Structure 1
Amino acid sequence: MTVSFGLYQAMPGGPTEAMKSVILSQSGSTGMDIDRLNTLIQLYTNVNPDQPVHVQYLNYVRDVVLYQDLGRSFFKNEKVTTLILQRLPWSMFISLYAFALGYSLSIILGVLTAYKEKSRFDSGVSSVVIALNSIPYYIVGVVLIYFLAIEQSYFPVGGRIGSGVPVGYNPDFMISLVKHAALPAISMGVLATSAALSMRGNAIRILGEDYVRVAQLRGLRDTRIATQYLGHNAILPMYTQFMIGIAGVFSSAVIVEEVFSYPGMGLLMFEAVKTQDYPLLMGTLIVFTAISLTAIFVADLTYSLIDPRISVDES
C-alpha cells in the first residue's frame, strides 16, 4: 500500500490534475467549484487533495485495511473492489491451471532425467527446458495463438467461454472453459518449467541415498522407485519454490491476459494503465502484491509441516 501510494503521488503529470481533467471532461463543465471537485476526487480515490500527503496516506491505509475500500473507478464508474472480485476468480483459475500444468510436468521430467542421468533423454530434455526458459512466456503465447488457434483452430483465440454456451455446471460449459483457458495456461506454465532442473538436481542427490539403493536391490520397478522413493523426497526441498511460483505465475497474468484477450484481473490492470484509471490501478496492484506475499508467508509457516526433518527452534 505504501509503494502504490508513493507511485500514485510520483506519477508524471500529477494524477490529481489528470483526474480533475477527466472529471471536468465527463461532466462537460469547466467551471466546477473547487470544493466539489475535490469531493469527487476523494470519492473516487479516498484521497483528499487538500490535505497534507501524510494525512492522505493514513486515511487511504485506514480505508483499505478497515473497510476494504479501494476507491471507485472513474472510467467504469464502479467500486474497485467489485471490479476486482468479478475478475479475480478467472485469473486464479488460469493461474492454478498453469501452475498445475507447469509444475506437474517439471516434477515428472526432473525425476526421469535424474534417473536416466547422462543419457540422450537427459541431455535432450535439459536442453529443451533451458531453451523454454530463455524465451519470454508472452512470446510463447503469440506462437501458440498462431499455430494452434489461427492455423489449426484447435483452440479459441480469446475470451473465457464460447458464444452461445449456456453458463452452468454442464459439459459444454466446462469444455469451453478449459479450452479457452488452455493456451494462456500453457504459456504461463512455461515459467514453471525451470523447476525441472532444480528437481533433477535434488533427485540426483537422493539417488545416492541408502534407501534408494536398497529399493533397487529388492528389484522394485523403476517407475515405483522414481515416484515413491525418488520423486517424493526430491520434491520436499522445492516446496517454498512452488509457493513462490504461484505468485510468479499469477503476476504473469497481466501480460498473458492482454495477449489472449482473457478478461481476468490482469487485463483489468492493463486497461487501468491505458485509461489512467488511478484508483483501479492502485487497487489491482495492492491485490497482486497481497496474493504474492501471502503465498510466500504460507510457505514459511507450513514448510516444517510438509517436511518433518525441518525443526523450528522454539527457544
Structure 2
Amino acid sequence: MVTIDWRIRRLGQAAFTVWAVITLSFALVRLMPGNMMGAMVTRLARQGINPARARELVELRMTIDPDAPLLPAYVSYVSNTLQGDLGQSVYYSRPVVDIIAEAVPWTLFVLSWAVFISFFIGISIGALMAYWEGGKLDVGLTSYAVLMGSIPFYVLAILLLIFLAYRLSWFPTGGRQPIATDPGFNLVYISGIVRHAALPVISMLVASGVASLGMRGNSIRVLGEDYLRVARLRGLSDITISTQYVARNAVLPMYTTLLISIGEMFGGSIVLEQVFQYRGVGWYMLSATHQRDYPLMMGGFMVITVAMVISLLLADLTYGYVDPRARRSQ
C-alpha cells in the first residue's frame, strides 16, 4: 500500500528541487562571473539612460538589490519568486509573469497534441509488433521505430520546414497564428492555429519510436497470460486481441514514461520553437538569452524546470492508482 510517509518524501524531494532551482537562479545573478546586473546597467546607459537611473531600473526588474547583504537579498528574492514576482523583462518592458503566462498556453497546445499522438501511435504499433513477433510486420515496424527513435526532433523539424513549408508551401514557415485573421472562436482562425502548430507537432512524433519499442517489450511479457488463450478460443480477431487485450495490460507501465516525456518535451521546446519561430516559453527563453534579458531568461528556466518536477511528481504519486500492482512495492 502507498504510505503517507512515502508521499511526504516525494513531495519533499519536489520541494527541494524547486528550492534548488530558485537558489541557482539567485546565484546566477549575484555570484556568476561577469556581473549580470552590471552588464544590464551598461546596456541601458548606452541607450541614453542616466547610469544612476539605469541602476534603479535594473534593481526593480531583477527584484534583487545588488548592494544588500547576501542573506537578506537571498531571502527577499526567494520571497518574491514564491509570490510570483519574477521581475520585469528588460527587452519587452513587461512583467516576466505576464509574458510567460501568455506563452505557456501555446507551448502546452503543441506539447499536448505531440504527446497524445506520439503515444497513441507508439502504443498501437508496439502492440502489433509484439503480437506478430518475428514476422515481417514486426521487422518492418521495428525498423520504423528504430529510425524514428534515432532522428533528433530538431533535425526532422528543419527537414519539414524546408520541404513542406518553404518548397511546397503546405504549411506556414513560422509563427503561432495567422497574421491577417482577427483572433476569435471562428473556423478561419482556429484552422490557422492548427496549421501553424502542425509542423512542430509532427517534429515531436519521433517520440513514437521510443514509445513503440517500450510498448513492444511490455507486450511480449503479457503474451503468455491465460486470458489471451481464452480470447483466441473465443475466436476474436488478432487485431482485437493485440489492441484491446495485449495493449490494455501492457500500457500500464508506459504511464510513467508518458508523464516524463511531457517534462522532456518542455525542455525540447526551447530549440523547436526557435526553429519554427513559435512564440512559446522556449522561444522567449532563448530570445532572452540572445538579448541578455536575464529576468525573462531565468523566469523561463524556472518554469520549464518546475514543469519537469511536477511531471515526475505526478508520475510517482498517481502510478499506484493506474496500476494497483505497484502499490505493493510502495
State whether structure 2 residue 33 is matched by structure 1 residue 15. Answer: no
Partner of 2:65: 48
1:274 is the counterpart of 2:295: no
Pairwise CA distance, 1:278: 0.6
Query: Is the 1:91–1:264 contact (alpha carbons within 8 Å) kept by the matching residues of 2?
Result: yes
Q: What is the one-letter code of the residue matched to 1:7?
A: L
Q: Which residue of structure 2 lines up, in the alignment, with residue 286 of structure 1?
A: 302
State how far apart, in whole Å, the 2-side matches of 1:191 and 1:278 are.
32
Label 1:206 to 1:312 Cα distance change in 2 as closer, same or farther (>3 A): closer
What does 1:195-206 align with in structure 2 at a 5 Å threshold?
Answer: 195-206=211-222
Matched residue SS, 1:73:
coil
**Cα RMSD (Å):** 1.7
Offset at residue 47 of structure 1 (A): 0.7
Matched, 1:228 2:244: yes
Superposed displacement of residue 38, structure 1: 4.2
Pick which of 151-160 and 72-81 moved more: 151-160
Query: Could you tell me which residue of structure 2 aligns to residue 150 of structure 1?
Result: 166
The equivalent residue for 2:104 is 88
Structure 2: which amino acid aligns with 1:16?
M
Task: After TM superposition, list the pairs within 5 Å mapping 1:164-179 onto structure 2.
Answer: 164-179=180-195
Cα contact 1:39–1:48 (8 A) shared by 2: no
Deviation at 1:39, TM superposition (A): 3.2
Question: For structure 2, which runs of at least 5 residues remain unmatched after alignment?
Answer: 1-21
Which residue number corresponds to residue 61 of structure 1?
Answer: 78
What letter corresponds to residue 71 of structure 1 in structure 2?
G
The 1-side partners of 2:275 and 2:29 are apart by 26
Shift of 1:192: 4.4
Equivalent in the alignment of 1:254? 270
Give the stretch that moved more between structures: 122-131 or 246-255: 122-131
Aligned position for 1:214: 230
Contact 2:128 2:243 in 1 (8 A): no
CA distance in structure 2 between the partners assigned to 1:163 and 1:37 by the alignment: 36
Q: Which amino acid aligns with 2:306?
A: A
- Identity of aligned pairs, percent? 40
- Aligned length in residues: 309
Correspondence list, 1:119-134, <5 A = 119-134=135-150
- How many angstroms does 1:13 deviate by? 1.8
Deviation at 1:275, TM superposition (A): 0.6
Report if the CA contact (8 A) 1:80-1:280 is conserved: yes
Q: Pick which of 260-269 and 8-17 moved more.
A: 8-17
Which amino acid is 2:283 matched to?
Answer: L
Given candidates 301, 305, 308, the residue that maps to 2:317 is: 301
- Select the residue among 150, 170, 189 that pairs with 2:205: 189
Q: Unpaired segments of 5 or more residues in structure 1?
A: none
Q: Deviations over 1:27-59 (max 9, x none)?
A: 443xx33xx554322201111100233332221
Q: CA deviation at 1:246?
A: 0.7
1:136 aligns with 2:157: no
Deviations 1:248-300 (A, max 9, x none): 11221110010011111111001100011111111111111111111111111
Give how far 1:23 is off: 2.4
Q: 1:310 maps to which residue?
A: 326
Give the direction of change, closer, same or farther, for the CA distance of 1:21–1:186 in structure 2 (3 Å limit). Answer: same
Deviates more, 1:251-260 or 1:166-175: 166-175
Task: Assess, with a 3 A threshold, how the Cα gap between structure 1 residues 170 and 226 changes in structure 2: closer, same or farther.
Answer: same
Quote the Cα distance in structure 2 between the aligned partners of 1:52 and 1:133. Answer: 50
